[in-house]
């Protein structure tokens, strides 16, 4: 959809405001939420009234009154945001804000919109949902890449069908994405790390591990990233992007949501030279016996066990007396030393994980290889 079309639509909207519903304002929230609410805000950097919606969402979120997360879908800057807004939600006006996957929809904004958002968040948070509990961990791997582990635990007796969407967003946009008030967009949606249907048998769990590569966005900062796992129920409802009956879409309501800021992986890989064994005699690559000193006659296979639970092993390097000999980037981590050598030498192996941390192991051996 072209910017000109949105401008025309916006002009019509300003002449005749459209709202999802009339909601009574509440001074305090006395609702016990059944789940964490998720809000999607459709906007564009050129939209004159979207700044009010943005300010209202920030105000409610910063107030800390409710368990909810939100993302800004900036349709003129991000093709994935455009697809979510237009293809999935069939938006007609902006700003339009979707609460819990379309359970409630609110179109337009002004300086009093924050109170309306509070009411709609309360209504969303009070509704009945399926018993599903998501958890997420995110580990920064460097170079704008994140390892993401998602687990969804079902407390339902019957099978659960739905969708898992993992949103990656910048807490404060560093990409120059600003509203017309000059404020950088908050929780600016970048991409889906996961976007798929799930089926969970009763009382079972679903899990997935992915590595999200955000290199296309340049140098991102881990402390400025939020990763949100949102569980959408598979039951389809009739939604309208222009309530009460305009711009229909298929609505899948949110059952729960969770979020995490990536942690830094500062733990080095575990590394162990497994062959040759310390104290053993080797004859032309074969282990003979324990003689109390590591001795090798002929060529020898240097084998390493390297593991890293956080981000995984990227490579293992092999050194002899400090001189680099080989680099192996996938298991089995092994290098055959077959060159002229006589006397005592040091074998050293260095494993590097995806985050750049290093672990090493070394051994002394006596070798005779002519």
Of 210, 244, 264, the domain-final residue? 264
Local confidence band at 243 (pLDDT 50, 70, 90 cut-offs): very high
Please report the pLDDT score of residue 278 as a whole number.
Answer: 96
Q: What is the average pLDDT value for the chain, to the nearest integer? A: 92
Q: Could you say which of 200, 235, 264 is where a domain stops?
A: 264
- Both 287 and 198 in one domain: the answer is no
Would the CA dihedral through 169, 170, 175, 180 be positive or negative?
positive
Say what the pLDDT of residue 83 is. 98
For residue 357, CA distances in Å to 2, 89, 265, 325 come to: 46, 43, 8, 20
Do 161 and 176 belong to one domain?
yes
Pair (322, 256) in one structural domain = no
Please tell me whether residue 81 adopts helix, strand or coil conformation. helix
Q: Which domain, by its residues, includes 245?
A: 3-264
Task: Please check the confidence at residue 27 and state whether its pLDDT lies above 60.
Answer: no
260 with 287, same domain?
A: no
- Measured distance CA(93)–CA(98) in Å, rounded: 12
- Give the global pTM: 0.81
Q: What is the pLDDT of residue 31?
A: 54
Contacting residues for 261 by C-beta, under 8 A, at least 6 apart: 138, 171, 222, 223, 225, 226, 227
Q: Are residues 177 and 279 in the same domain?
A: no
Q: Is 230 helix (H, G, I), strand (E, B) or coil?
A: strand
Report the 3 state secondary structure along 323-363: EEEEEECCCCEEEEECCCEEEEEEEEEEEEECCCCEEEEEE
Residues 258 and 344 in one domain: no
What's the structural domain count of the chain? 2
Which CATH number does the domain housing residue 363 bear?
2.60.40.10
Residue at token pair 């009574």: 24
CB atoms within 10 A of CB 82: 18
Q: Which of 210, 242, 264 marks a domain boundary?
A: 264
Percent of the chain past pLDDT 90, that is, above it, reads 88
Between 113-126 and 50-63, two packed helices, what is the crossing angle to 10 degrees? Answer: 60
């Amino acid at each position: 959809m072209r910017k000109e079309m949105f401008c025309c639509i916006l002009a019509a909207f300003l002449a005749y405001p459209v709202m999802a519903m009339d909601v009574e304002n509440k001074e305090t929230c006395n609702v016990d939420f059944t789940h964490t609410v998720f809000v999607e805000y459709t906007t564009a950097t050129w939209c004159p009234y979207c700044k009010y919606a943005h300010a209202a969402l920030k105000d409610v979120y910063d107030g800390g009154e409710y368990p909810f997360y939100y993302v800004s879908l900036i349709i003129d800057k991000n093709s994935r945001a455009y697809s979510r807004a237009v293809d999935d939600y069939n938006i007609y006006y902006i700003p339009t804000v979707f609460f819990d996957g379309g359970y409630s929809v609110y179109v337009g904004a002004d300086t009093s919109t924050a109170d309306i958002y509070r009411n709609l968040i309360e209504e969303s948070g009070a509704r009945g949902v399926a018993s599903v509990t998501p958890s997420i961990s995110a580990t920064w791997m460097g170079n704008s890449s994140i390892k993401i582990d998602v687990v969804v635990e079902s407390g339902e007796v019957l099978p659960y069908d739905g969708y898992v969407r993992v949103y990656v967003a910048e807490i404060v946009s560093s990409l120059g994405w600003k509203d017309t008030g000059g404020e950088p967009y908050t929780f600016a949606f970048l991409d889906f790390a996961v976007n798929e249907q799930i089926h969970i048998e009763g009382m079972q769990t679903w899990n997935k591990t992915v590595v999200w590569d955000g290199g296309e966005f340049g140098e991102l900062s881990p402390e400025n990233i939020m990763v949100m796992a949102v569980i959408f129920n598979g039951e389809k409802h009739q939604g309208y992007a222009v309530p009460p009956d305009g711009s229909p879409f298929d609505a899948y309501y949110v059952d729960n949501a969770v979020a995490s800021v990536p942690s830094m992986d500062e733990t080095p890989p575990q590394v162990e030279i497994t062959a040759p064994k310390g104290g053993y005699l080797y004859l032309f690559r074969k282990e003979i016996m324990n003689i109390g000193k590591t001795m090798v006659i002929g060529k020898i296979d240097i084998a390493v066990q390297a593991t890293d639970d956080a981000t995984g092993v990227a490579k293992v390097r092999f050194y002899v007396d400090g001189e680099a000999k080989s680099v192996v980037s996938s298991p089995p981590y092994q290098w055959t030393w077959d060159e002229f050598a006589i006397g005592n030498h040091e074998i050293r192996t260095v494993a590097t994980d995806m985050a750049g941390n290093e672990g090493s192991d070394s051994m002394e051996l006596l070798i005779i290889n002519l």
